[in-house]
Structure 1
């Protein structure tokens, strides 16, 4: 039997029925996508402000992403109907790869001249991270809109 949007799959990591993962993921995604802009601005201007801003965005994005992933992992491992969805496993795998690259990117910038870490390796990792975010977001959208994961259709 295939899951359909008419049969919602409720989140176990939720507060008052509101799933935590979709609530927590927006800020890390915004930080890591903002990192594309700060890296580009640093490469164009060589202004150290942009490398410092990028250091903070990379750290907030990586740490916030790992924190948000805990709620997603709770749902993946504790809700049998989610565990049966290949899309959920691929979403999780892509997210772990993305967060690993983002964490490495942040660690290369920490405690050094953050600008030196940007060109070329930091910028490349930033672009890979942004690409993985796009893939993970697409898969997360499929989970919500096609499989009704963490959607209460009775409300």
Structure 2
């Protein structure tokens, strides 16, 4: 691993603490929990799990879009972030993932039990895979490139 020389400061931060990594935890947890609630609905057939899935995908999608605004601010306003291929890959995969989550929510919204079980699960699983990829790239931005890390302490 390369040594981080120059800190890359986030512009979307409060008291030097970057907002994007703080905001992303709840949407990620909701979208990963969505896979479990989809499986529970398929196995048990209890409508509670279909409603839980609707709420989880809604929290995940809308919360993710809100968190992505902070990441977008950094991507577009910090030159050293914008110059990193890893940052662009992270952003593109995150947009793909949030688009799938939004589609998943939209398809469920009319009626969480309207034959969406299989498609919902497929979209949930694909979203989870994209979350893993985006998280890996986000980790590389922090640990390899020092994005949002105070290296002067």
- TM-score range with shorter-chain normalisation? over 0.9
Residues 36-75 of structure 1: matches in 2 within 5 Å? 36-75=35-74
Q: How does 1:1-155 map to 2 (within 5 A)?
A: 4-112=3-111, 114-155=112-153
Where structure 1 has 5 or more consecutive residues not aligned to the other structure, the ranges are: none
Instruction: Tell me, in whole angstroms, the C-alpha distance in 2 between the residues paired with 1:147 and 1:116.
Output: 46
State the Cα deviation string for residues 19-72 of structure 1 (Å, max 9, x = none): 000000000000000000000000000100000000000000000000000000
- TM-score between both structures, scaled by the size of structure 2: 0.96
**In 1, Cα distance between equivalents of 2:119 and 2:35:** 13
Q: CA RMSD in A?
A: 1.1
The 2-side partners of 1:117 and 1:12 are apart by 44
Q: 1:104 to 1:32 in 2, by over 3 A?
A: same
The size of the alignment, in residue pairs, is: 152
Structure 2, unmatched stretches of 5+, are none
TM-score by length of 1: 0.95
Over residues 76-97 of structure 1, what are the superposed CA-to-partner deviations in whole Å (9 max), with x where a residue is unaligned? 0000000000000000000000
Question: 1:4 Cα shift?
Answer: 4.9
User: Which has the larger displacement, 5-14 or 75-84?
Assistant: 5-14
